[in-house]
Amino acid sequence: MDLAALNAVAQAMVTPGKGILAADESTGTIKKRFDAIGVENTEENRRDYRECLFRAEQTMREHISGVILFEETLYQDAADGTPLVEIIKAAGSIPGIKVDKGATKMAGFPGETVTKGLDGLSKRLRAHYERGARFAKWRAVIDIADGIPTWGCVKSNAHALARYARICQQEQIVPIVEPEVLMDGSHDIARCDEVTRQVLQTVFNELYEQRVALEGIVLKPNMVISGKGSVRQASVKEVAERTIAALKATVPSSVPGIAYLSGGQTDEQATAHLDAMNRIGGFPWKMTFSYGRALQASPQRAWSGKAENAVACQAAFHHRARMNGLASLGQWEKKLEKKAA
């Protein structure tokens, strides 16, 4: 393992003013997105949409440090035959790959899941590296409801994340470690805070036990936020303060950076929360974004499956990427959203 090289990639992934585009939706997930805009979920349409984003060269170069790809996309070629991964690299971004095989029900743990995908991971990573991937992503899903999460669920998911991370580093690929405490449910922000701290502490204990070099990872956590069904929705200020406090208590300073997931927040909410955290400051890591829906919802609507809408799609993508880039520097202002609208 070349830790200096891994650290260099990790540092580049959290470059100030830039963030990570999560374009790794599975075929089933992107179908839901396409259904919402009336687009047929074909391989060609999936390619055309993602190619439209990747060819937004100014946006990619100025605001996108890396792109998480679904396996199909990593091995796809553009309409003109250029590998999509080469388009990403030409724009100065780092290609990455989602390698987990999704969450599956945990036997004996009703309502809980564990992420699968460790079998054959080394072999797959070697092929992905040859294709151009330099980082990977694995998502563990932790739900909050009556009686859950259980310790068994938290421990199992943390262990799998740590094994994945160690295998990635062995294959010279930077692991994005993504333990997501879901914002679904009616829990308040205090409960999310409690569970997030437990999950992060457990994850870092497992990373230590599995001999993962923290200088060669990027953490992709949830923000500490109220459940969608909570009668009390926390303010932007409280989300920012609680999130930073929770991470300060659990995340070692040797981690190069934090790339938050949006987790079902609206576009503007995800931007406002990231901005508020960076304005507070006082933390040892770089803090940026790794958003999927919060970066892509408006570009998808603008595109709507029509080639003639490519310019509008790229303009919408540029706006959201720029807003989040500013938020990663603590320089976003709400009036910039209104001006663009």
Helix (H) or strand (E) holding 191: helix 189-209
Q: Which candidate in 51, 112, 178, 180 is catalytic?
A: 178
Query: 199, 260, 200: which is closest to 14 by C-alpha?
Result: 260
What are residue 88's phi and psi, to 5 degrees? -60, -45
Q: Is 172 exposed, middle or buried (0-12, 13-18, 19+ CB in 10 A)?
A: middle
Q: Which amino acid is at 12?
A: A
Give 233's DSSP letter: P
Give 328's DSSP letter: T
Helix (H) or strand (E) holding 209: helix 189-209
178 is catalytic: yes
Place of tokens 């969608």: 228
Q: Which candidate in 18, 98, 220, 286 is catalytic?
A: 220
Query: What positions carry a catalytic annotation?
Result: 178, 220
